Every structure is written in structure tokens, then in C-alpha cells.
Amino acid sequence: MGRLVPWSGGVVASVGFVKRRPLLALGVAVAWTVFVWATRIRNALGDDSLEGGALAGVLLLSASFLAGSLVVVLAAVDAVRQRRLGERWPTTTLSVSVVVMAAWNAVVWASRMVGIATNGSHDFAFVAVHAVIGLSSIALWLVTVFSIFEGRSEEKSLIG
């Protein structure tokens, strides 16, 4: 299955199959992010208790994830094009955009999970579901980061 891969002074368990296919990892992370935050927008627009600044805040946060995902997709398309022209993989733009999305996911979800868990107005199921969504989001982007950077040191197929 997976093997341990040293990276940046630490050791992280790999996910084997996805880790060796950076575009697959990236596609899954982007699709998950779009699903989660588009669903959040739909739920917010249907919530009559959200209005004014609270609604604007939800929409802006959601838009930041959707825009970030678009930037990552555009950077990936450019990186594939440049690799076909003989350039190095990954491009700086792709590397930076994936790291920024991973960091943004970690910061936002860590904050949201603490806020949801300590709010006191949510039942256990709500807290658990959001913890799973948050941890899944963080994990998918971390796998994508490791997958992208592994491609920098080893020549591998991008999609399989």
C-alpha cells in the first residue's frame, strides 16, 4: 500500500495510488472543495436566519474557496501545457497555488471546527459531520501538496 516518505524534516504516510498521480489528487481535492463550498452557498441562501453581514461573510468565505480552486485548475492546465513543451514539473504557479489552498483549508477548517464544537448550539451529529468534512478537506489538500512536490523530484506519469 503506502510507504513512509520523508518530506520537509518530517515523515508523512503516503496514500500510494493517489500520491503518484498528482493530477488525480488535485482533481479530487478541487472537486471536493467545490462540492463543499457550493453546498455551503446553497444552504446559506436558503437560511432565513442569515442576513446582512453574516450572509455576506459566508458568501465571501465560500467564494474564496471557489476562486482558489479555479486558480489551482488554471495553474494545473498551464503546468501540463508547459510540461509537454519540456519545462519542469510542477510550475511555480501550480506549487504556490496548491500550497496556498492547503494552508487556507487548514486555517479555515481548524477555526471552523473549534467554533462549531464550542458554540454550544449544535448537537453532536452536526459537530461530527463538520469535523469529518474539515479533516477530509485538510487531508485531501495535504495529499495534493505531497503528490505535486513528489513529481518535482521523480519523473512520473501525471495521470496514470
Q: What is the pLDDT of residue 124?
A: 93
- Domain containing residue 132: 19-153
User: Is 40 inside any structural domain?
Assistant: yes
User: Is 14 inside any structural domain?
Assistant: no
Cβ–Cβ under 8 Å, residues 99 and 73: no
Taking residues 38-64, report their average pLDDT.
93
DSSP track, 42-92: HHHHT-TT--HHHHHHHHHHHHHHHHHHHHHHHHHHHHHHHHHTT--SS-H
* Residue 42 CA neighbour count, 13 Å, CB half: 6
User: Is 138 inside any structural domain?
Assistant: yes
pLDDT tens-place string over residues 5-20: 444 444 344 444 454 5
DSSP-derived 3-state class of residue 13: strand
Single-letter residue type at 83:
R
Number of domains in the chain: 1
* Residue 17 CA neighbour count, 13 Å, CB half: 2
Q: What is the pTM of this model?
A: 0.80
User: Is 160 inside any structural domain?
Assistant: no
Cell readout for 139 is: 487531508
pLDDT tens-place string over residues 61-116: 999 999 999 999 999 999 998 888 878 778 899 999 999 999 999 999 999 999 99
How does 33-42 read in b/e, with b if 16+ C-beta sit within 10 Å? beebbeebbe
User: Is 3 inside any structural domain?
Assistant: no
Q: What is the pLDDT of residue 15?
A: 46
Please give the mean pLDDT across all residues of the chain: 85
